[in-house]
Amino acid sequence: MNITLQQVVFYVVAVLIAFFSVMTVTTKHILRSATYLLFVLFGTAMLYFILDYTFLGAAQIIVYAGGIVVLYVFSILLTRSDKSLNQHIKKSKLAAAAVTALGGGVIILFCIFSHSFAAQIAPSGNELDMEVIGQTLMGSGKYQYLLPFEAVSILLLACMIGGIVIARKK
């Protein structure tokens, strides 16, 4: 079996993404959770770079790892921490969560083993021109993304204003 450096890097990044994903949802400190989420988003960008999708990798870093994590930290630092929220989980809820996780794992394994994946995932040299990407992102026609982009920016602005109002209310 001939393993290439690209495969080794892919497996290392995949293990790191899985590790930090688990750490994101299991830590009790919300700032650490946001930091772990940042590592997950950087790992996802690394996967895009491994597949030679440089524009998607850069967009992942700029939009998600930059903007969304800043929004998380902004809302975290503006809201007060309530120590009474550390409640113990009932055994019935823990059992339901375990059954759900097991079911999800079974579905994922079924999907992985029942489909055949192509040996050559990323075709080399088929990257779109920047002008085509720019026209698609900033166009207002069918299959163009200016309106959804503006809708998401208004939604994020409303979330930030809501966080300020909640944090300043006494």
Q: What is the pLDDT of residues 95-139, one digit of tens each?
A: 998 999 999 989 988 888 887 765 555 556 667 777 877 777 777
Q: Give pLDDT < 50 ranges for the chain.
A: none
Which tokens go with 143?
A: 């299959």
**Could you tell me the CA-to-CA distances from 110 to 24, 104, 114, 120, 121 in Å, in that order?**
26, 10, 6, 22, 20
CA 26 – CA 32 distance, rounded (Å) = 10
Which stretches within the chain are classed as H helix? 5-26, 30-50, 54-59, 69-78, 91-114, 130-138, 146-168
